[in-house]
Structure 1
Amino acid sequence: MKKIVFSFLLLCISFAGIAQGKLERREFVAASLENNPAGEDPLRQLSIYLPPDYENGTQRYPVIYVLHGYGGTDSLMMNVWIDFKPLLDEAIKTGKMRPMIVVAPNSMTHMQGSFYTNSAASGNWADYIGKDVVQYMDANFRTIPERESRGLCGHSMGGNGALKLGMLYADTFSAVYALSPAVLNWYGDLSLSSPAFKRISQLKTQDAILKGIFETDETGYFNGFFAAVFTAMAQVYSPNISNKELWADFPVSYIGDSAVYDSDVIQKWDSEFPYNMIDDHLPQLRSLTALKMDWGRNEEFSHIPFTSMQFSKKLESYKIKHFAEEYIGDHGSMLDGFEGRVYTELLPFFDQYLKFQKP
């Protein structure tokens, strides 16, 4: 009996000795989102991972900024879509990654996504990440407040945001990793011929569009989903503050069954796609310490594999050093867990390319 009790105590001591990080949630008022005409809430939440022994020491840490996907929030990203804490704890414990701070900002909007783009209607979502969140983290946590110690990553809409902000804020972030980046350019299910534009013309209000977000058409196309996505994109790519219902102009509208294409709005959308931004941001891309993107070959959204490869090939044509990889998986099946891309690829990437405090 004494032997059993002694073994149990040893087990308890062993578990107690395993260093655990801490996950906490903060909120603050983001200056870049204040007084936006569309009424988006500037009070924003942050889910933050603090490494083991953070509260007992004076060490400063690099920070990984994590951008969530469309329909997500900071807490969904950190706790549901990817359960970050056990991955980070294990990576630090095993030496796969040195201790870092990881933060996911909440970029949810009325239409379910900001696309990390500044908007005259809904607020400046690029500046919110590149300025407000970074300033808040540097002011309130023991970060290493230098570009070389800041990494930026994201999944889907967040992957788009990571690539976009990596170009716009290359003086703030030094290493970028995009997981299954969405909406890099027109292709396949993301096209001007999408029936979702007709749906938007018929429904006319945000509430009506969101109500049918899970509806598909007779071909199985995610008609309701893309209607919501295009509306969210329009509010930041082609905002119109005089349109009090949708706060946007659209590249395609319908008169009955006839599509009407607006070349000026199409040009605005084209200029916001990361693929087209490459040409005007070559010095910024070349200044990055490291850039990586990956995607699954069995991706549900047909535009993602094609435009990811297209993006990579354009970088290659400009001789911009980067990593690009297609793996066996779909939009989200190979992200979480100890065999997922976050644990096996993303965390070691930032361990290698971010600058740490010297002992």
Structure 2
Amino acid sequence: MEIITKILDSEALHDNPVNDKPQREVTIIENSPKENTPLLVGLAGFFGSSRSFLNKSYTNIDFMDVLNKISKKYSFIIILPDTMTYFRGNQYVNSTAVGNYSDFITKDLIKFLFKIYGKRDVYLFGKSSGGFGSIYNALHNPDIFSGFIDISGDSYFHYSYLRDFPVAYKILKNLGIKKFMEKFNSDYIHSQDELTAENIIAMSAFYSPKNTEINLPFDLNDGGLNEHWNAWLKFDPVNIIDTSGISLKNKKIILQTGIYDEYSINIGMNMIHEKLSMLNISHTYKEYPVGHFNTNHLYLESMPEILKDY
């Protein structure tokens, strides 16, 4: 395997509202690429970015361990773009409060890759927020992507997000978003509740912005849900499948999840599976006796499912 690093100057990210750099590092991992070897674009989970895929674990199988194992049998080209933002992660959608990260992936990155490798099949893959970004962008860009791997991607927001709202409300009701972010950025360490609050702010920046303003899905006066929650639900893959699911026909779709997921995302993943089945859209769905974290080993099954056809 060879690891290559290139820099992409993204047109979509120029003049973004939080002044994140538009020049992004793209890590490419090649293993005996052939003329028809597909491009597999990895989207990191929240609080992570491209280099997170390269982290070494001494207690669990890590992503590079996965690639080493499958490299003996398959050729591949893995693409890992830097997608980190001011909000400590990404949901891979276009946002007036963060930046046009769907365009970054579907326009700038794809153009960049085709210039290097020529036009060829492209797949998305990721876990958690990366899984969400994979299914979301595949649903909206069926002309670009041949399929995706979604491992416990954010779905059925009623279960996966609502549970965190009371925690975020407790912290934000006295500080508000601006003061909390100033404190968060200046502190060296953060409690789990603070990370939860920051995550909800970030999701609001992606799902329910108005221009550069971030609108929380609950009222800071009494904690009750407000109209911005409806804006969130428009991004829920469980809902998008109802209107755009047919766009996934003839795509390679692999859904994987843990039955002990700490955010109950397995329920949303099963709902996606059931809805795809109702639409007669071929896909692979598998549940495992694991939780939300330390699931790199699931790629040992899903990546070969894609690569075996090449």
Q: TM-score when scaled to structure 2?
A: 0.89
Asked if the contact 1:213/1:228 (under 8 Å) is kept, the reply is no
Query: Is 1:118 aligned to residue 74 of structure 2?
Result: no
- For 2:207 and 2:253, the matched residues in 1 are separated by 25
Q: 1:220 aligns to what?
A: none
- For 2:106 and 2:81, the matched residues in 1 are separated by 11
Query: Is 1:233 aligned to residue 233 of structure 2?
Result: no
Matches within 5 A, 1:1-359: 21-52=1-32, 59=35, 61-80=37-56, 83-93=62-72, 95=73, 97=74, 99-140=75-116, 142-143=117-118, 145-146=119-120, 149-187=121-159, 190-191=162-163, 193-203=165-175, 204-205=177-178, 206-209=181-184, 211=187, 214-216=190-192, 223-241=193-211, 247-255=213-221, 258-263=222-227, 265-288=228-251, 290-301=252-263, 303-335=264-296, 340-343=297-300, 345-353=301-309, 356=310
Report the AA paired with residue 280 of structure 1.
Answer: T
Farther off after superposition, 59-68 or 198-207: 198-207
1:238–1:188 CA distance, 2 compared to 1 (3 A): closer
Report the AA paired with residue 296 of structure 1.
Answer: G
Task: Summarize deviations over 1:209-241 as a string: whole Å, max 9, x none.
Answer: 45498424xxxxxx3222111111111111134
Report the AA paired with residue 109 of structure 2.
Answer: V
Deviation, 1:122, is: 1.5
Asked if the contact 1:37/1:241 (under 8 Å) is kept, the reply is no
Asked if the contact 1:22/1:49 (under 8 Å) is kept, the reply is yes
* Percentage of pairs with the same residue: 24
Report the AA paired with residue 208 of structure 1.
Answer: K
- For 2:3 and 2:235, the matched residues in 1 are separated by 34
Deviation, 1:249, is: 0.9
Deviation, 1:276, is: 1.1
1:26–1:201 CA distance, 2 compared to 1 (3 A): farther
- For 1:191 and 1:300, the matched residues in 2 are separated by 11
Aligned-CA RMSD value: 2.3
- For 2:129 and 2:278, the matched residues in 1 are separated by 25
Deviation, 1:189, is: 5.4
Which structure: larger Rg?
Answer: 1
Alignment length (residue pairs): 303
Asked if the contact 1:50/1:101 (under 8 Å) is kept, the reply is yes
Asked if the contact 1:23/1:49 (under 8 Å) is kept, the reply is yes
Asked if the contact 1:46/1:104 (under 8 Å) is kept, the reply is yes
Q: TM-score when scaled to structure 1?
A: 0.77
Asked if the contact 1:192/1:252 (under 8 Å) is kept, the reply is no
Task: Summarize deviations over 1:145-179 as a string: whole Å, max 9, x none.
Answer: 13xx2111101100111110110111111121111
Unaligned 5+ segments in structure 1 are 1-20, 217-222
Unaligned 5+ segments in structure 2 are none
Asked if the contact 2:49/2:89 (under 8 Å) is kept, the reply is no
- For 2:62 and 2:160, the matched residues in 1 are separated by 31
- For 1:72 and 1:231, the matched residues in 2 are separated by 16
Asked if the contact 1:183/1:190 (under 8 Å) is kept, the reply is no
Task: Summarize deviations over 1:12-53 as a string: whole Å, max 9, x none.
Answer: xxxxxxxxx10122222111111122222211111110124x
Deviation, 1:191, is: 4.0
Report the AA paired with residue 236 of structure 2.
Answer: F
1:312–1:25 CA distance, 2 compared to 1 (3 A): same
- For 2:308 and 2:288, the matched residues in 1 are separated by 21
